[in-house]
Amino acid sequence: MYKELFKWMIAIVSQPAKAWAALKEKDNTEDHDVFLSRYLYPIIGLVTIAAFIGILFTRKEFHVELALKSAIRTLISSFGGVYLSAYFLNELWGGWFKQKKDFKLCLRFSGYSLALMYALNIVLLLLPEFFFLNIFVLYTFYIVWEGAVPYMQVGESWRLKFVSVATVIILLTPFLIEKVLMLLMPGLRF
């Protein structure tokens, strides 16, 4: 299961055009639950585990409470971020782009588009001194650009608008959820 997960993550990041075409074919033959159970939930689980382990072994003291806080914050922001971004994309898809709403399609698109961000989160949670890698999050624009036409069937005339709005939604939603969570539950700060 994890071998396939890493294969798709690497494909999406290294060759987005080929990966999106293959994902479109794959998603036409597979059930939506397969996407959730073999891609989205395991990758969110890996990010959460990386948050827990990263705090335990990158701090001077061995502090389980801080590790649990980090894991909870990461889990909620990752899980909520992908679902909220899919919801916003679905609403824009039906309203602004005048397409038939399809939440499952938007959820898969958001989940696959976040592959690079999840990979970077895992690396940065385990190795926080490599903070400069955050600049690569901007590559998500290209990943979304390559997926807009083959996967979402966006017309060329709407492509730039869709990619711009989708990238902002996909990147900012997990960040905003984390900030709102910190405001509502200050005990999760460390």
pLDDT for position 99:
82
Q: Is residue 104 exposed (0-12), middle (13-18) or buried (19+ Cβ within 10 Å)?
A: middle
Taking CA atoms, 102 is separated from 34, 87, 107, 173, in Å, by 17, 10, 9, 19
Domain map of the chain by residue range? 2-188
pLDDT for position 144:
96
- DSSP H helices, 128-188, are 140-148, 156-184
Is the separation of the CB atoms in 1 and 37 below 8 Å? no
* List of residues 6+ apart from 119 with CB closer than 8 A: 9, 13
pLDDT for position 105:
93
Per-residue pLDDT tens listing for the chain (190 residues): 688 889 999 999 999 999 999 999 988 788 888 899 999 999 999 999 999 999 988 877 778 888 999 999 999 999 999 999 999 999 998 888 778 899 999 999 999 999 999 999 999 999 988 999 999 999 999 999 999 999 998 888 889 999 999 999 999 999 999 999 989 888 777 6
pLDDT for position 28:
78
Residue 97 has phi, psi (to 5 degrees) of -95, 0
